Copies of this chain bind each other. A is one copy, B any other.
């Protein structure tokens, strides 16, 4: 009987976790001896709906891939056995066997606010090396940038009340749960229910109880009492299994001062939170906090708080970990310049309809106003000298990591300060505000003419 396959991605499988065309192009460049040095940049053309900025995230996982990418014998044997690869010269497979990334990587640090057209990552390397990174690098950047950006919206709406990630079961698979938790923490979530994410990222693991706990006992009072006995320091009772108001009364009367909190998970959260607050206060459980979950997002939270709902913290799952209203980000990875031996960089551009790109190796400078707020970004050529804070930093030089990687707590702190420094309209939850990103004259001038 065949053993079921969990479809875990492993480090051994890194070379094949890519689109086929990256490998056929690599072979093609090799055989055609087309190996200039190449500069690729990853950026978003257009921001998703209702977003005026993004929070960059996912770079650490992309760097792990770039540094660790090797072609083991298993991968090479598999490739050679494919019809498309069968006729390739043995030298190509020897090349793969010795492959390791030897180029340079520049990137905007995780936790930094970014806008459309701004390169999140620039890779400069032998054309094959740079090409091979595309698919995996994008899959790392896309998800976490999406979730970190979504999380800042939810955290903004919660106005200081803690938001925790409850999304493990709705994320797009087990690894997506880990990656989304990381994005959520960078975007400001105070903790996660995902235990492995908490362990690996060193952030608080949080949780209450499920309906099944309540249903497994003869009655609610017994269920609540039993939980408190085992976990006296974190007795947050789920009170909506049968009737929320009755559940609140039962929890307060059963546990009194020992009740740390209650969780509401269905119904009209505004009305219920008000009534539950009154019940807790009137039954000796004034200290108990109210946690709300149940398909929450930034809009629902803002409405609840605007109406004065006495909710102390929010558990957000589906909407945050899938960035439900904008579940895909189209970061693209485009060749922007090539350099032949003994020559300078040659700018290249793509002109596809509605998908044209700015050629040339770029840098982004952020300029601040006298109030300390971000006033504008300048998108220019990397070799320009412009005023402001250059956002792209070098992470890998000649294939080696040369930058310290901060932990997620520091990345979250960076994101918090970055979002705080934005002009207020940028942070509106609906509509978009065109934060000024100016294209430098030098960058414009460097574009090849249409006659090419």
**Which residues of A pack against B, CB within 8 Å?**
1-11, 13, 16-25, 27-29, 31-32, 34, 36, 38, 40, 60-61, 63-65, 67-68, 78, 82-84, 88, 127, 131, 134-136, 138-140, 142-143, 166, 168-180, 182, 193-196, 198-200, 205-213, 215-217, 226-227, 229-231, 233-234, 240-244, 265-267, 318-319, 322-324, 327-330, 334-335, 338, 348-355, 401, 404-405, 452
Q: Shortest 3 CB-CB distances between A and B: which pairs?
A: A20-B207, A327-B327, A21-B207
In the bound assembly, the distance between CA atoms of A129 and B285 in angstroms comes to: 33
In the bound assembly, the distance between CA atoms of A73 and B423 in angstroms comes to: 50
CB nearest neighbor in B for A31: B230
Q: Which of B61, B138, B215, B324 contacts A328 (CB 8 A)?
A: B324
Known interface pairs A7-B182, A176-B173; A350-B215 also in contact (CB < 8 Å) = yes
Residues in B whose Cβ lies below 8 Å from that of A176: 139, 143, 172-173, 175-176
Contact B322 A327 (CB under 8 A): yes
Known interface pairs A1-B401, A139-B174, A172-B179; A28-B267 also in contact (CB < 8 Å) = no
Q: Which of B19, B210, B349, B355 contacts A194 (CB 8 A)?
A: B19
Contact A63 B4 (CB under 8 A): yes
Contact A9 B178 (CB under 8 A): yes
CB nearest neighbor in B for A136: B174
In the bound assembly, the distance between CA atoms of A207 and B85 in angstroms comes to: 13
Query: Nearest chain B CB to A182's CB is how many angstroms away?
Result: 7
CB nearest neighbor in B for A141: B169
Contact A6 B170 (CB under 8 A): no
